[in-house]
Amino acid sequence: MSTLLDALPAGHRNRLRGAPPGAELAASPMLATLSDRRDFSGGGWIFERKLDGVRVLAVREGDRVRLLSRTGQPLNGTYPEIVDALADQDCPDFTADGEIVAFSHGRTDFSRLQQRMQLTDPRQARASPVAVTYYLFDLLRLDGQDVRALPLRVRKSLLRRALRFHGPLRFTTHRNQGGQRLLDEACGRGWEGLIAKVAEGRYATRRSPDWLKLKCAAGQEFVVGGFTEPAGSRTGFGALLLGYHERGRLRYAGKVGTGYDRATLLDLRRRMDELERPRSPFADPVRERGAHWVSPELVAEIGFTEWTRDGRLRHPRYLGLRDDKSPGDVVRERP
């Protein structure tokens, strides 16, 4: 056991167990629950900035480093500079959780990150003008020990001391109080929101109310089930037809026709042509003339202002494709 773990109080050391392989631990990350809660006056919570990036788990076992998406997809070729920074650590055995982001004008920008997410050749990734930063916020494994049963505060303290945060690696700081005031400040700065976490909570391998997503604006991922033809000078397609899963059915949520540049329109059309099918995948009727239907395999991140009374998106805008989320896991997020 490491010096850091040896220094823990006996009550905390008793919670440690021998850890399974790092990739096995990373297979079921803890997920946050969307919430409209604003009163945290009872205490016991910490608040972190909600980042607009992709969830990535880092596994270091001796000389081997692996970056894995939340669905287990290997990402070493996409973010080789992150792999280098983790391989340079003195600590040879850990599994950590975090978010990779790209910045634009001081804010995390998912659309900009898209330019890196599409690359799998490490040479092309290193040559990309899009710099990425890996914000680490939790620790699952350290020196052969499973630390998920430790309180969050303890896990974050171990993470901060076990690794050196330099280059593209950052430690995700937190505040101990503030709730609504912190969220107001975050929204005023153009951030996506906050994550509120139970300070003494364990790391649960599921979606948990111990982690709450507090958003400044509505937005979530949707499954692409079809598209419309372009009109006028538009190229590629007109709008994506979107849905989410509910009780085993794909429910229609509306269409999104904004947020694309020409390259994105052409790339998405190429992808959707390969997935075209003769019948609609939606359980609801979709009244779009000349719609094309596709197998529901693509997941898109969509920003919008609110849901309408009839279950459609108001003022949606396309932000990018997500390859770190399974289409079958896409549901309507409700506070």
Q: What is the pLDDT of residues 261-314, one digit of tens each?
A: 999 999 999 999 999 999 999 999 999 988 999 999 999 999 888 898 889 998
Q: Give pLDDT, residue 81.
A: 97
Cβ partners under 8 Å of residue 290, min gap 6: 228, 229
How far apart CA 79 and CA 120 sit, in angstroms, is 8
CB burial of residue 307 (10 Å; 0-12, 13-18, 19+): middle
- Chain-centroid distance of CA 46 in Å reads 19
- Specify whether 50 is catalytic: yes
Contact 176, 46 (CB under 8 A): yes
Could you count the other beta carbons within 10 Å of the beta carbon of residue 95?
A: 27
Give the residue from 55, 56, 37, 57 showing the smallest Cα distance to 47.
Answer: 37
Q: Give pLDDT, residue 309.
A: 86
pLDDT per position as a tens digit, 169-196: 999 999 988 888 888 888 887 788 899 9
Q: Look at residue 42 and tell me whether its pLDDT is greater than 80.
A: no
Rounded to two decimals, the pTM is 0.78
- For all residues of the chain together, what is the average pLDDT? 92
How far apart CA 204 and CA 193 sit, in angstroms, is 22
Q: Give pLDDT, residue 185.
A: 87
Element at 301 (helix H, strand E): strand 292-303
- Given 50, 156, 197, 255, which residue is catalytic? 50
In DSSP terms, 74 is beta-bridged to 68
Q: Look at residue 1 and tell me whether its pLDDT is greater than 60.
A: no
Q: Look at residue 17 and tell me whether its pLDDT is greater than 90.
A: yes
Q: How confident is the model at residue 97 (pLDDT cuts 50, 70, 90)?
A: very high
Average pLDDT for 28-46? 87
How far apart CA 221 and CA 244 sit, in angstroms, is 8
Kindly state the percentage of the chain with pLDDT values over 70. 99
Domains by residue range for the chain, with CATH: 3-30+52-173 (3.30.470.30), 219-329 (2.40.50.140)
